[in-house]
Structure 1
Amino acid sequence: MMKRIRPVRGLVMGLAITGLIALLPAQLLALPKAGQPVPAFKVVTTAGQPVSLENYRGYVLVIDFFATWCEPCRMSIPHLVKMNQKYGKQGLQVLGMSADEDGERVVKSFVAEHHINYPVALAGDPVTEGFGVRSVPVMIVIDKKGKVAEVFRGFSDEIGSSMEVLVKKLLAEK
């Protein structure tokens, strides 16, 4: 007599979740595009400060979605630190959004080790999902009116240069 093979619950659940994701509108999973308003967010920085998009109205903002274990993220951070030093007094703000799941202690240690000179918060699933972030690093440059100017995925010297050119242009706008 042959035993009846029963489907593995994990496989069934995985297929069900995949099916549900396929039914979601694509814009819920997509990064915002240039010209679109920035999704609303509320986070608390590792220093305990509550932060929302409203804190950055009138500023050029770079939101950096990163993780402490991500090598390209580690390459982008010195560039963001330098840009913050160079353009901070002209109206640039940088906000780090950690996608780490290991907790605030790991992120705080990383911030200190890398001499990060801008606020960093744990992004959490609602924020990463709201922005459509599925991998890191993702840097979103936002203009003074709260609209997405550009989205940069990954990091290289070319991306860093392009971002800096864009930031200078946005800072010069009224």
Structure 2
Amino acid sequence: MGEEIYMKKIAIFFVAILVLSFLTGCVKKEKEENNNANVINTEGKIKWLSYEEGINESGKPYLLFFYSNETQLKKMENDEIIKLANDFVMIKISSNSINISNKYNVSSTPFIIILDKNGNEVVRSFNISSKEIMVEMYNVDVSEKDSILWMDYESGLEIANETGKPVLLYFYYSSHRLCQQTESNLFTNKSVIEKSKSFVMIKINVGDDKNTNILYKYRFQYIYYTYNNQIYPYLPTVIFLNESKEILHRLITYDVYDPNDEKPIEKFLSNMDKALKGKIWGYDFSFVTLDGKTKHLKDYRGKVVLVDMMATWCQPCRMQMAELKKVLQHYGKKKITIISIDVDEHDDVDKIKSTFGDHINEWTFGMDKYKVSYRFWATSIPTLAIFDKYGRLQYLRPGLTQANELEKIIDEIM
């Protein structure tokens, strides 16, 4: 018994190391790609024009920066300002340019004036911080922009705080095939680009070690799958936040973009519309009970729901059910619901009943007629998903999970 406990501890430690090693990335190339993403200027600097050069440019709004010294000019040396600057004609004006300063009624520095693309003044501000400049630039309407404006996490949340916009968090890995399809087909769609202007769009690279704390904040240590004995996060992942930064919903993999779906763009736009309403909404899926009735996850709103994906031939699945029974006894049926879904299409009702007879009357059993396992990438079983009382996904992992660990998760989300 002591040796068995020791081996379990070693296994848990090994899994933790695998998760951490993937999430922290250690991929230098990936980090560099992420740091340079969306910065059109290859030098990573603002392309400043003189007033005479810039004011004759057309098609973009103008930012006029009045300054007296290089220290003031360094206010603009901010990665997010540099990114935003690609959508502006950036004009720097020395305090020695008396005629231009008088024309715009500027008597002190640093001073910024933003003009729309027709030359009408929309922003006038003195001695503001880099953060405030970033927010002012972000708020300027760039209606002809033909791509999504992605922000980094910290700057994006600052802008969301200032603007009151909801947030879309996009977690990706550049070499991940479905992420590549998502970016080339979904995020280039004109309707998605247009609707993205109602959000602060934040892009987070899971392969960059500086994002490790962000990944833990959004429960990636609890939501992963395995393939060929390797651990992977579900990608792409999209998380919607409301104005208070509360999670409204989480989309993973094919719920973000399914290349085999007839209308993947329309489904994503529908999710964006739901997020704009600012209300939490949960997952829903269907399964068929052993007596032939179609049930839905939404039927169990108000309770924490544990969905156990299993099969009759799976010995660890039987062990998992023993742990689920302990959890059910701990909380009772008024607080939690357990649903065991057989994901093997060759298993029939009689076989399920004969295999799991001890548990059939204790909670709901069903069959995977609607591809729940496909949706949640249940590449190995048992795979267990936990949804909170709103239907939001809080836990999704393969393998046997002990009752005490499940109770910690449930206590956290209940």
TM-score by length of 2: 0.32
- Higher-Rg structure is 2
Q: Assess, with a 3 A threshold, how the Cα gap between structure 1 residues 131 and 63 changes in structure 2: closer, same or farther.
A: same
Q: Deviations over 1:72-130 (max 9, x none)?
A: 11111011122123212441001001123222211122231455511010114622112
Q: Indicate the percent of aligned positions where both proteins have the same amino acid.
A: 27
Alignment length, in residue pairs? 147
Deviation of the 1:39 alpha carbon: 4.8
Q: For residue 4 of structure 1, what is the aligned residue in structure 2?
A: none
Shift of 1:43: 1.4
Aligned to 2:392: 147
Alpha-carbon spacing, 1:97–1:24, altered in 2? closer, same or farther (3 Å): farther
Q: Is 2:36 the counterpart of 1:36?
A: no
Query: Which amino acid in 1 is paired with 2:399?
Result: G
Aligned to 1:54: 298
The structure with higher relative contact order (CA 8 Å, sep 6+) is: 1
Alignment pair present for 1:25 and 2:178: yes
Higher percent of residues as helix = 1
Alignment match, 2:30 = none
Change (3 A) 1:45 1:141: same
Provide the aligned C-alpha RMSD in A: 3.0
Cα deviations across residues 45-78 of structure 1 (Å, max 9, x unaligned)?
1133321011111110000001111121111101
Residue of 133, 140, 143 corresponding to 2:378 = 133
Q: 1:89 to 1:103 in 2, by over 3 A?
A: closer
Q: Where does residue 111 of structure 1 map in the other structure?
A: 356
Closer/same/farther in 2, CA of residues 151 and 40 from structure 1, 3 Å limit: same
- What secondary structure, in the 3-state scheme, does the structure 2 residue paired with 1:36 have? strand
Cα distance, 1:156–1:61 mapped onto 2, change above 3 Å = closer
Q: Shift of the alpha carbon at 1:40?
A: 2.9
- Does structure 1 residue 120 correspond to structure 2 residue 365? yes
Moved more, 119-128 or 134-143: 119-128
Does structure 1 residue 161 correspond to structure 2 residue 375? no
Q: Tell me the TM-score normalised to structure 1 length.
A: 0.71
**Gaps (5+ residues) in structure 2?**
1-175, 183-224, 226-232, 240-248, 252-281
Equivalent residue runs for 1:76-91 within 5 Å: 76-91=320-335
5+ residue gaps in structure 1? 1-22
Q: 1:79 to 1:117 in 2, by over 3 A?
A: same
